[in-house]
Structure formats: structure tokens, C-alpha cells
Structure 1
Amino acid sequence: MAEKLLMKGNEVIAEAALRAGCRHYFGYPITPQTEIAHYMAKVMPKVNGTFLQAESEVAAINMVYGAAAAGARVMTSSSSPGVSLKQEGISYIAGAELPAVLVNIVRCGPGLGGIQAAQCDYFQACKGGGHGDYKNIVLAPSSVQELYELTVEAFNLADKYRMLVIILGDGMLGQMMEAVEFKDKEEIYQDDKKWACTGTKMQRESNDITSIYIQPEVLEGLNNKLQAKYRQIEQNEVLVETYNCEDADIIVTAYGTVARIIKNVIKMADKEGIKVGLIRPITLYPFPTAAFEKYAETPKAFLSVELSAGQMVEDVRLAINGKCPVHFYGRTGGVIPSQLEVLNEIKKILNK
């Protein structure tokens, strides 16, 4: 029977990775995600795995490159400024088409900022972050249960498409404790990884893994291949929750823990005769454009609520394509909007 435990979000990520077959973890401590590394340091030796605290974030992401190139299921984790330092390696991983998982438990910025929860890394995660025309799949859980489920899915997607998958959480989600129901057995995507550098044993041609291509036509060929893969992902891997959107007066869009706040706002608004809908992107890339297109002309307005100065709202506006007004409400610096704040913003928009 399924196992149900009370666990902290960060520890659930680590446990889920282990259940998904991850046996290699390289990282560097930074608040508020350090419990992931703590858990891995404790458990990896028990499962004949590798835990290594690298000398820096730059070293950690390059260790991920090496392990992924050898065909291993591998993960790293960090928080905002730490992920910034990993960007060159992330771009190399994209260029070399290597499967790996990166967890970003976002803290507020810019700069060193603070250790409180934020969503200010949306651009960094969804728009590439490093150099070159590349994408990463970006998953945005909103509960500790989803942290478990989407971490397992992250490893499967990474292997399926040979690319980096980012789990984008925040300080609240990483630190909160909730009941989690684990499966008895995970569904693991099977890939023979014949492309990996595992040693030929004089029985096959050698595999080359690189992201440098000096000939323009060859590099363009790689870019065309990557872009075709991204279009395939956009067709097949979109995850989104739509709630209460039919005949809504206003549709709010939010992801992660902010979406949980909005569900309570919906209840408060209903008592005042205001029908509020919610579109919650679960994949931030691929962005659920079709869900917004479906309801683009339903409400009087859309409202994007974020723990940022306004980032996802740009993709919302592109998806709506001028068919409906799109408003933004955000808090920064680790300040969390209250339900009443958001409700008052909804009333202000509807009364214009």
C-alpha cells in the first residue's frame, strides 16, 4: 500500500529524486534549499550513490554535465544567485543534449537579496538564462505532494527529451511541511542511452558529447534540431490547471504557492457575488497558451499575481493577444500578498 508521510518540501524533492533513480547529486549550500543537499548527503551512501558538495556552483553544474554524459540520472539544486552562476554550464548541457534535473528554490533578489520566498526567476528559467537559443522544461509545483510527483516526472522528461528540466519552487514551498503520499513503485522512463560515454570496450564506435561546432552549417543543424524538439514538447507536454473559469468575471493567473492564495480569494469573492477563475500553469515552459486562448474573451479582464515585479504577465499578454485587458499585481522582496489584498485589486479592476 502507498506510504504517507509528513515531510518538508525540500526533503521531499530529495526523496522523490532517489525514488526516480537519481544516484548522483552535486551541489553547493545556499538558503533556502540547503535541506535538499543535507538529505542527499545522509541517504546517498546508503543506496550506493554519490553525494558531493562541490567547491562552487560552477563546479557543481559541470559535475552534472559529466555524470549526465556518462548516462547517469543526476540532479543539482540551488537558489537564485546560485543558479545564476550555473548558467554557462546549463547552456552547455542544452547544447550537448544531456538529461539532468535542476531544482531552484527561489529567493528574492536582485543581487544577494534575501532568503524569503519569491518568483523573480521566471525569466531566468523560462527564457534560457544563459547564452544561445535554447529552452529548458520548467515545472512549477504548488504543493509538497506535487513536489514529489513533478520531481519524478522531471527525471522522466529529462531522459525522454535529452535535456535539462528545472523544478521551480520557492522558499515557502521548500520549507513547508505537508503530508505526502508516496507510490509503492515509480513509473520510470526507460532509455538505453546508447549515446552515453560509458567506454566502448572495443565493441562499438566511440560516442562524442560536445556543444562546440566550428562549422556554421553544422551548428545551425544542431539549433534546428533543438528547435524542432522544443516544438514537439510544446505540443505534448503542457500541464495546466483551470478552475472556475466558465463565465468568470475575471480570471486570475498564478503559479506555485501563489496559486494556493488565489483559491482562497476565489472563495472570498464568491461570497460577494464576484466569480473569479484561475489558470495555473504547471509547466511554465512549455507555457499553456491554449488555456488562455480558450478563455481569452470570457472575463472582463485577466490578472496575473506574482511574487515579482512582473514576469509571467508578459507571456499571459502574448497568449491573450489583445483580446482582453491583462493586469498585474505583484509583491517583491519576500513580501507575500494577502488574500484581502488580491481581492481588493480584483474589485478595483472590475470597477474601472
Structure 2
Amino acid sequence: MAEKVLMKGNEAIGEAAIVAGCRHYFGYPITPQTELTEYMAKRMPQVGGVFLQAESEIAAINMVYGAAGAGARVMTSSSSPGISLKQEGISYIAGAELPCVIVNIMRGGPGLGGIQPGQADYFQATKGGGHGDYHNIVLAPNSVQELVDITILAFDLADQYRNPVMILGDGALGQMMEPVEFNTSQVSPVEKPWAATGMKGGRKDPNIINSLHLQPDELEKHNIHLQKKYQTIRDKERRYEELYTDDAELILVAYGITSRIARSAMEKARAAGMKVGMLRPITLWPFPDLPFNLLAQKAHAFLTIELSAGQMVEDVRLAVNGAKPVYFYGRMGGMMPSPKAVYEQIVNIMSGKGGK
């Protein structure tokens, strides 16, 4: 077993990317993910990689487009307002079917907001964000170790499906320190015969990377191809964690750092004799709707907890499909819910008073 080291979340993402074979990083500093940019500035020259602090987030995402098109494992990172600036480039990357990893360590918003943790970028990440019919694969870790494992997984999924993968973390995960280990056996680089690398390997014609299709029938054909790919991802890549759901009457739903708070409240409730379980989505897109369908057949209600005014709760309601009540509890602007506050919500629902 590899030796564990104590690392801050942002830095752990950077080292995991290097372990995964990433040798190109383009970004721009913004709190609360700046340590990731700093870490890559230090480590990339040490491993023979390329680090470039771009003049803007817009420039950075277009550099990602270029490196990905040439077949490199490439990453960028930012926080909420910076990710907003990257949206046009992300849509281009998805349209051109280029693999890359995009890290969003979310902060409170809207606007410049604040530098404390938030989860109000859920819609932006899972519903497109940019223009056109496209999807990012969206992964939501809830610990520093999961940041490591999911970063490595993100590069593999990006290459496998030729698609951008977004890691959706938050300011708490980016700043917290926990022991982690790096498993190099997880890494599985793939060949990229489609990459724009000139006439290498005796190629007769150069590969062309493009997302422009001027003829509407050609563009529709390309869109149909993308939608078939997205359906394959839906079928194969839904990830989630269930805790104490076998006998649960109330199912808590939370992702990221909020899921750890919810778990503490759930354990307190079970110790008090209440049948409470938890379902934690790990892929936010594709959303793991199947377990919700199954749990809605036996659970009495669901309670979604988020650091937002309520975004994932809409996907929970769609997945439950009206079979059972779905309650919501959220905090905003960087305020974190306490396990006590979540426990009080549980008590209200279990006693028939409903959620606030």
C-alpha cells in the first residue's frame, strides 16, 4: 500500500493530475482554487510538463482546446466566475469531441460573490452552461482522497469518451487537508489516432479538429452522434453511494462537502432510532436517477441538502417522479449548514411537520 501524505485538496488535485499523465496545464488564479494553480506552476517544470498562466480564463480554455486537439492530457481549473468565462470554449471543446479535465472549486455567488464554499454552479455544470446541445461529464468528490481518485478517473473518462469532464468541488474541499495516497495502477492512458499531429506515422491526410458544420444536415448528423454518445455515458457511468437505505423511511440526498455534514446528521438520527439513510450522487451528470426510482417505492420521503437555493433538488424531484415528497434545505452565500440544523430538519419530517 502506498504511503499516505497529508495534502490540501487543491494541491492533491494537481498531484493526481500529474500521476494521471497530465503534462499541460493552463489557468488563471482565483480564490479558493489558487493553490492548485500555484502547485502546477511548481510541479510541471519538475516533470517535464508545460505550465502557463494565461492572460485570462478565456485564453486558458482555448489553450486547453489546442493541447487537447494535439492529443495531450490537459487540465484547467478555476472557481465559479472564472468557469463562467470559459463556457464558450467548453462548448467548442465538447463540439469538437476533445478530452480535457476542468476543475471548478465553487465559491458563493452570484456575481463576484465571496470566497467561501458554495454549490450554486450545479445548473451551470450539469445543464450545459455554454451554448448548444452538449454535456460535460460532472464528478462530485466529497473528500481529499476522492479528489485524488476522481481526478485520475476524470482523465480516463475524458479520453474514453472524447469529452470534457468537470470536477465539481467547493472551497471547503479545496482548502481542507486530509491524508491521501496515490495509486499509480489506476492510470490507463489510451492511443489517440484522431489527434491533430500532422503527418506522423505515415498518415496520408492530416487529422482536422473542428466544431464548425455549415451545412445543417451535417450539423444535425454530428448532433445525433453526440446524443448517442451521451446516452452511452448515461447507461454506463452513473456513480453514487448508498448508506443505510435498506430500511430507510427518509432518504437524505447531498453531494460534495454537504454530504459529510448530512452523514453526521443521519448517524445521529439513526442513533435516536429514526430510519434515515442517504444517497450521495457522485456523478452529477449523468445523474444517477435509477436508485431514486427504486428507493421511491419503499421510502416515505426525500430531503435534499445543498449549499444553494435549490438546484440538484430539481433532478431529485424528476427522478422521484412525484412518487414521494421531496423536501429541501439549503444555505447560501458561503454559509454552511450544521449537522444540528440538518438533524432538526430530519426530526421535523419524521414527526410529520415537514421541512422548512
Opposite residue 106 of structure 2, the aligned amino acid is V
Counterpart CA distance in 2 for 1:255 and 1:3 is 28
User: What is the CA-CA distance between 1:157 and the residue it aligns to?
Assistant: 0.3
Greater CA drift, 258-267 or 19-28: 258-267
Corresponding position of 2:329: 329
Hey, what does 1:305 align to over in structure 2? 305
Alignment partner of 1:198 is 2:197: yes
Equivalent residues of 1:19, 1:186 under 8 A apart? no
Give the structure 1 partner of residue 116 of structure 2.
116
Query: What is the deviation of 1:182?
Result: 1.6
Instruction: Give the Cα–Cα distance (whole angstroms) in 2 for the partners of residues 101 and 190 of structure 1.
Output: 14
Counterparts of 2:327 and 2:186 in 1: how far apart (Å)? Answer: 40
Distance 2:147 2:197 in 1: 31
1:53 is aligned to 53
Query: Which residue number in structure 1 is paired with residue 236 of structure 2?
Result: 236
Structure 1: tracts of 5 or more residues without a match: none
Q: Which residue of 1 aligns with 2:220?
A: 220
**Aligned partners of 2:23 and 2:335: how far apart in 1?**
36
Letter in 1 for 2:258: V
The one-letter code matched in structure 1 to 2:279 is I
Give, as a single letter, the amino acid of the residue that structure 1 aligns with 2:254: A
Mean alpha-carbon deviation: is it higher for 76-85 or for 1-10?
A: 1-10
Structure 1 partner of 2:246: 246
Aligned residue for 1:88, secondary structure, equals helix
Per-residue deviation, 1:195: 0.8
Shift of 1:78: 0.1
Question: By how many angstroms is 1:187 displaced?
Answer: 3.0
Q: 2:264 — aligned with what?
A: 264
Which amino acid in 2 is paired with 1:199? G
What letter is aligned with 1:243?
L
2:344 corresponds in structure 1 to: 344
Query: 1:238 deviation in Å?
Result: 1.0
Q: Which shows bigger deviation, 43-52 or 265-274? A: 265-274
CA deviation profile, 1:90-129 (whole Å, cap 9, x unmatched)? 0000000000000000001000000000100000000000
Counterpart-to-counterpart distance in 2, 1:64 and 1:302 = 40
1:272 Cα deviation from its structure 2 partner: 2.2
Matched, 1:17 2:17: yes
In structure 2, distance between residues paired with 1:341 and 1:272:
16
Equivalent position of 2:38 in the other structure: 38
Counterpart of 1:86 in structure 2 is: 86
The whole-number CA distance in structure 2 between the counterparts of 1:179 and 1:312 is 29
Normalised by the length of structure 2, the TM-score is 0.97
Please say which of residues 228-237 and 197-206 is displaced more in the overlay: 197-206
SS of match in other structure, 2:12 = helix
Amino acid in the other structure paired with 2:315? D
Report the CA distance between 1:3 and its aligned residue. 2.3
In structure 2, distance between residues paired with 1:215 and 1:3: 56
The amino acid of 1:292's aligned partner reads: F
Per-residue Cα deviation, 1:289-345 (whole angstroms, up to 9, x for no partner): 011011012222101000000000000000000100001100001010011111111
Identity %: 63
Displacement of 1:148: 0.3
The answer (yes or no) to whether the contact 2:308–2:332 under 8 Å persists in 1 is yes
Deviations 1:8-60 (A, max 9, x none): 00000000000000000000000000111101000101111000000000000
Task: Tell me how far apart the structure 1 counterparts of residues 117 and 204 of structure 2 sit (CA, whole Å).
Answer: 49
Q: Give, in angstroms, the shift of residue 204 of structure 1.
A: 2.4
Equivalent-residue separation in structure 1 for 2:193 and 2:34 (angstroms): 34
8 Å contact from structure 2 (residues 32, 105) kept in 1? yes
Which residue in 1 is equivalent to 2:127?
Answer: 127
* Cα distance in structure 2, aligned partners of 1:191 and 1:2: 24
TM alignment of 1:89-104, pairs within 5 A? 89-104=89-104
Aligned to 2:318: 318
Contact between 1:98 and 1:162, CA under 8 Å: does it hold in 2?
yes
Partner of 1:186: 185
Which residue is equivalent to 1:277?
A: 277
Distance of aligned partners of 1:203 and 1:273 in 2 relative to their CA distance in 1, 3 Å threshold: closer
SS of equivalent to 1:182: coil
Query: What SS class does the counterpart of residue 31 from structure 2 fall into?
Result: coil
State TM-score, norm by structure 1: 0.98
Give the 3-state SS of the residue equivalent to 1:217 in structure 2: helix
Separation in 2, partners of 1:169, 1:104: 6
SS in 1 for 2:185: coil
Q: Which amino acid aligns with 2:189?
A: Q
Q: Give the C-alpha shift of residue 192 in structure 1.
A: 1.7
Structure 1 contact 160–189 (Cα < 8 Å) conserved? no
For 1:18 and 1:270, the matched residues in 2 are separated by: 41
Q: Distance in 1 between matches of 2:54 and 2:254?
A: 35
Match of 1:170 in 2: 170
SS at match of 1:3: coil
